[in-house]
Chain A
Amino acid sequence: MKKLVFIICLFSFLTSFSQEANEILKKSEEKIRGIESSYQEMMIKIIRPKWSKEMLMKGWSIGEDYFVSVVISPAKEKGTVFLKRENEVWNYIPSIERIIKLPPSMMMQNWMGTDFTNDDLVQRSSILNDYSNSIIGEESVGGLDCWIVELMPNENAPVVWGKLVMWIDKKDYMQLKTQFFDEYDELVSIMYGKSVKNFDGKKLPSIIEFIPLDEEGNKTIVERLVWEFDIYINKRFFMPSYMKNLR
């Protein structure tokens, strides 16, 4: 009898532990994905061993399916629009007055010269549904106590990674660091969330740093200058035909 109680206790403890990881991820994901709509202004810095480039952009989003961004500077690229509609990516280039729907062959190419691919933009995988998770430790990142959560992709999940390890802070459920592993369990890239700010009542890292490890000296930094949530955005913003009017 004692044994049985012990086993039940152990079992409930175990489930509560994994429940906890689920809970953490859910809260963390809700923090970003639970947003109805958003408007942001961001500075993107592309850093290469020999040169670097800065771009100022505005972006609008509704839910997870609709996102559109327009380049404000540099002047030569001003007005260049990227539109994500569900799983399509559209591109408008003002100097040639052309709207292009990116073909699947271009999805793995860099997005606007950054270290992100076009595919990263449209990825619809959910860290909650597509991965099985477990807490593998605790650590402090940038002065904030974090859980370390390991995510293993489920068998049929539409995921390119072999494994993810995330550092999620205990207080505000922010993803402060993520390691991306390939299918051979090799670390491919690291993403940091830095300099936490209060955006419209939500505490979020204002700087995202993405470092691909296979190319030394490459780095992409996305800094959110303005981030507003749950505002009204006209749906036509996300029509391909409207892209040339964005500025």
Chain B
Amino acid sequence: MILKIAWRNIWRNKKRTLISTLSISGALFLIILMRSMQFGFYDNIINTIVQSYSGYVQVHANGYWDKQSVNNSMEIDEKFINEISSINGIDNIAKRLQTFSLVSKGKKSKGVIIIGIEIEKEQLITDWDKKIIEGSKSFDNADRIILSKGIAEYFDVTMGDTLVLFGQGYHGMMAAGKYVANGIIDLKNPKLNEMTIFMDIESAQDYISSENIATHLVIDKKEYYDEKKIAEDVRKTISSDYEVMTWKEILPELDQMITADNVGGLIMAFILYVIVCFGMFGTVLMMTEERMYEFGVLLSIGMDKIKLYLIILLETIMLSSIGVIIGVLTTRPISHYFNKNPINMDSFGEGLGDAMGEFGFDPIMPFSINWDIPISHAAFIFGISLLISIYPAIRILSLNPVKAMKK
């Protein structure tokens, strides 16, 4: 009964209803699109850098992070890895041996990072196979390397070409060798693509003249586990000869960038919310003030004040839910579309993509299709509508029917 009355009441003044639902859905539309764009962008960054490269948690020999040299490396045996992998929430673990070198081919040379990897385990973390764009997916031979896209372009490498690596080895040894290009990988990150060369971890150990050492232990977490908690658990499990870092410590600039951008988004959302709030409040104000006479009549013929308030509350909720539903429904296909076909920043202007590349981000912006975003914002608007309905509640409860009907 009340529901029916409320529903009819809404449509008594169609223009007002239209305007208020549109203002809610419009604001929600903007907020959801903006947030899903932001979160999609973060997800993309975290996906390309953290999830498929640095790992959520890393273990190094103590002091390695401050002085990244193979002389600060660690020896890792199966037992050590088993101990760590028994910790709750850890998905995969891979050893890496990372060193800096000079690579040259013909007359060109370039400083690069050489990463020795265990390819089967790396596959589980970085989804290696899907990123290979040319050549073989594995090393096949000890003297084979896989180059990142940027290096391959710089040296104009075709498969089977020989490159010369030259650098510092372990404990003062010289590291030098000739290696054959076996594949090209696109790491989906401009910075990494410019400077990474992969080889088998044993080849890398041989290159720097040492056995059994590694510089990184990259730990991938299962979904929904907190990396901080995992890092804490790992720290408890292993001795203090090792340092344990989360990706936020490893890539603080990335974390800060996301935080800063996120705060900017929140401020925008806040401004939009203020607009929505006043829009809704205006509607509710009109709804109550305009109908004071009507309320007076209703009360004087014996309508319960609470029931009257419930009608108004339902009207507000209906209005806002219509707005919310329109807002969510209109953004959904758009988010989905841009999730599948990310916005390419390059198309916005010459050099924009390059500028993003400088920062180490892929110039593409996929939208997030996570339901968290529309649901949380819809819920927030709902909350606001409930809050706003306090006003008519106060008005109705303190209403004197005689006064209300006298004009």
Same complex origin of A and B:
yes
Do residues B177 and A95 form an inter-chain contact, with CB atoms below 8 A? Answer: yes
Minimum C-beta distance from B165 to chain A (A): 8
Give the contacts of B147-182 with A (CB-CB under 8 A).
164-166, 168, 171-174, 176-178
Give the chain A neighbours of B177 by CB distance below 8 A.
Answer: 95-96
Do residues B171 and A51 form an inter-chain contact, with CB atoms below 8 A? Answer: yes
- A interface residue numbers (CB < 8 A to B): 46, 48, 50-53, 74, 76-77, 80, 93, 95-98, 112-114
Name B206's closest neighbour in chain A (CB-CB). A76
B71, CB-defined interface residue at 8 Å: yes
Once the chains are docked, how many angstroms separate the CA of A97 from the CA of B104?
13
Majority secondary structure of chain A interface residues (helix, strand, loop or mixed): loop
Give the chain B neighbours of A51 by CB distance below 8 A.
Answer: 71, 171-172
Do residues B164 and A77 form an inter-chain contact, with CB atoms below 8 A? Answer: no
B209, CB-defined interface residue at 8 Å: yes
Minimum C-beta distance from B349 to chain A (A): 37
Name A80's closest neighbour in chain B (CB-CB). B174
Once the chains are docked, how many angstroms separate the CA of A74 from the CA of B209?
11
Give the chain B neighbours of A80 by CB distance below 8 A.
Answer: 174
Known: A48-B171, A98-B166. 19 other contacts (CB 8 A): A48-B172, A51-B71, A51-B171, A51-B172, A74-B173, A77-B173, A77-B174, A80-B174, A93-B176, A95-B178, A96-B164, A96-B165, A96-B166, A96-B176, A96-B177, A96-B178, A113-B168, A113-B174, A114-B172
Give the chain B neighbours of A98 by CB distance below 8 A.
Answer: 164, 166, 176
Minimum C-beta distance from A214 to chain B (A): 15
How many A-B contacts are there with CB distance less than 8 Å?
A: 42
Do residues B178 and A113 form an inter-chain contact, with CB atoms below 8 A? Answer: no
**B interface residues, how many (CB within 8 angstroms):** 13
Majority secondary structure of chain B interface residues (helix, strand, loop or mixed): strand
Name A51's closest neighbour in chain B (CB-CB). B171
Give the chain B neighbours of A113 by CB distance below 8 A.
Answer: 168, 172-174
Give the chain A neighbours of B164 by CB distance below 8 A.
Answer: 96, 98
Minimum C-beta distance from A219 to chain B (A): 12
Minimum C-beta distance from B210 to chain A (A): 10
Name A93's closest neighbour in chain B (CB-CB). B176
* 21 A-B pairs (CB sep. < 8 Å): A50-B71, A51-B71, A51-B171, A53-B171, A53-B173, A76-B173, A80-B174, A93-B174, A93-B176, A95-B176, A96-B164, A96-B165, A96-B176, A96-B178, A97-B178, A98-B166, A98-B176, A112-B172, A113-B168, A113-B173, A114-B172
Name B72's closest neighbour in chain A (CB-CB). A50
Once the chains are docked, how many angstroms separate the CA of A80 from the CA of B175?
11
Once the chains are docked, how many angstroms separate the CA of A97 from the CA of B162?
12
Once the chains are docked, how many angstroms separate the CA of A98 from the CA of B176?
10
Once the chains are docked, how many angstroms separate the CA of A95 from the CA of B165?
10
Give the chain B neighbours of A74 by CB distance below 8 A.
Answer: 173
Name B165's closest neighbour in chain A (CB-CB). A96
Minimum C-beta distance from B168 to chain A (A): 7
Give the chain A neighbours of B168 by CB distance below 8 A.
Answer: 113
Residue from the list A46, A48, A112 in contact with B174, Cβ < 8 A:
A112
Minimum C-beta distance from B75 to chain A (A): 13
Give the chain A neighbours of B173 by CB distance below 8 A.
Answer: 53, 74, 76-77, 113
Minimum C-beta distance from A201 to chain B (A): 35
Give the chain A neighbours of B172 by CB distance below 8 A.
Answer: 46, 48, 51, 53, 112-114
Give the chain A neighbours of B174 by CB distance below 8 A.
Answer: 76-77, 80, 93, 112-113
Give the contacts of B196-255 with A (CB-CB under 8 A).
209
Do residues B166 and A93 form an inter-chain contact, with CB atoms below 8 A? Answer: yes
Once the chains are docked, how many angstroms separate the CA of A228 from the CA of B324?
94
**Nearest 5 A/B pairs, CB to CB:** A113-B172, A53-B172, A51-B171, A93-B176, A96-B164
Give the chain A neighbours of B171 by CB distance below 8 A.
Answer: 48, 51-53
Once the chains are docked, how many angstroms separate the CA of A74 from the CA of B174?
10
Give the chain A neighbours of B71 by CB distance below 8 A.
Answer: 48, 50-51
Once the chains are docked, how many angstroms separate the CA of A98 from the CA of B165?
11
Name B178's closest neighbour in chain A (CB-CB). A96
Name B179's closest neighbour in chain A (CB-CB). A96
Minimum C-beta distance from B176 to chain A (A): 5
Minimum C-beta distance from A101 to chain B (A): 13
Give the chain A neighbours of B209 by CB distance below 8 A.
Answer: 76
Once the chains are docked, how many angstroms separate the CA of A180 from the CA of B178?
40
Q: Which residue, of A74, A76, A80, has the highest number of chain B Cβ atoms within 10 A?
A: A76
Give the contacts of B318-351 with A (CB-CB under 8 A).
none
Minimum C-beta distance from A112 to chain B (A): 7
Minimum C-beta distance from B181 to chain A (A): 15
Name B177's closest neighbour in chain A (CB-CB). A95
